[in-house]
Structure 1
Amino acid sequence: MLDCKIQNVPLFHPLIRENRAFCVGDILIIFYTPLICMNVQASKLMVTGITKMGSLKNITLAAALVCSAGLAQAAVVSFDENFGGALTEGTEITTFDFGAGLTGSLTVTGGTAEARVLDSESGNGLGVTNDPDLASPFSDADRVLADRGFGNVLIVQSDDAGVSIPNDERSGGSITFTFDTAIILDSIFLLDGEEGISLTYGLTTLSGLGGADNTFDFVTANSGPILSFTVEFGGSGAIGEFKASVVPLPAGLPLLIGGLGAFAWMKRRKQA
């Protein structure tokens, strides 16, 4: 493989960060979503500083072939199950397998540095009686969507409540989801958050999110490929659910790489 370098192209920063571009012969191979691929081809890749590369025609062809794979179907993560088993109130989540290929681990700051499940709909549950501002039903802070419940929600465990009673940390904290493979974050429901909530993914940070007690803020992300995202709470708050999908590699990737390698070898032999 040759040494490829992509410079001064903000559109492509996830490619560099997540190693989603490399070379076979004199052809640039790009793994990306169909939407970005259309932008890539329309702008003739907008690539500068590629060393030892061939024509843009070959590069565009490679991009078109690799980008033919679509995204996996998005899944809603509602903190009801983990590793195929039911989640109960008070359970700490450190690693996760939410299904649909969404696997990874959590990193937590604030409180006891633990992410725990709180049942917002339990009739006699600790979540309702101990933390009424996170009791279902919730209303839309933007007054657009209908009232709804969330069941289990995810909180930063308070350090003054003890681990047996789930209660969100009033001094704030953060929960970072790190995934084993690249995902697309479609949307997320953030609960409460009078002191403000921020959402960070890739190089994007959305701040000033959240609402009053017993409200939700529906946030559309449409992130592009990322390996992690962080929800930071300025005070009390929770994650109601999020919707995401894994970015799959093309099923025919091994054949494609082999074919491109053979193409590059034949071209070099012809030039020799």
Structure 2
Amino acid sequence: MVNVGRVGIWSFGLRNDDPNAAGEIREAAAELERLGYDAIWLGANPGVDHAVPVLEATSRVVVATSILNIWEYDAAEVAARHTAVSAAHPGRFLLGLGASHAGLVEGYRRPYSAMVAYLDGLDAEGVPRSERVLAALGPRMLALSRDRAAGAHPYLVTPEHTAQAREILGPDRVLAPEIKVVLDTDPERARATARQHLGMYMTLPNYTNNLLRLGFTEDDFAEGGSDRLIDAAVAWGDVEAVRRQIAAHRDAGADHAVLQVLSADPSGLPRTEWRELAAGLGLDRRGS
């Protein structure tokens, strides 16, 4: 099984096809490893090959796709690239898979059945279940994460969801929730930053249905999210606020906290905030 450790960073900016960004991506990835982070999760629908520059720039950190869209990448090709990348970097690549959303994929249909078929394809090509996780929110996909993968990587969730996910996954599967972070102690400004990010997700039924199951209402989705929703799903404030949110998820059953720093430029690399978090969380002092 790929050991993702305790704390990772989630980033849109580290998955970038622009050749002009290659140098900064490698530099930033190497710094994240030096800072003590255990894993780097690549956003923006990465393919397996997007992990290669980050793996080559580092020597210890695990690199995961978050989340590879099963509608856009052929299972056999993904399996072949997984085999090659894992051979080159043993124990350091984790394949994160997701079924995306109806409004974003042409021909979208029956996501659970599509994921089962995709996993069948990976099995046929020899991709170990211990080297993949699923972007799971609802009970059926969480159960699939338990039965057909190493665990789950839920996105846009609260500690209450983490507790429910752990109950379904059982004690032996990886549970790595994404945790949104705004390092700003001004409530109005911090929530505004969160709303700028959350607005798109409030239009996607996969997320809103999951939040409804957690006790939120349609009113909580208006204008980028209510204060109640933002305060539950986003760790805003100082590093101590982030520490409390991580602790809440861990107390609920999370193994690994995946921190996504929200800023004005979602595609940028918030390296100052990554340094502040690493220092405040003591990552460089724990021998990670």
TM-score range, shorter chain: under 0.3
**Which of these two proteins has the greater Rg computed from alpha carbons?**
1
TM, length-normalised to structure 2: 0.24
Considering fraction of residues, name the structure with more helix: 2
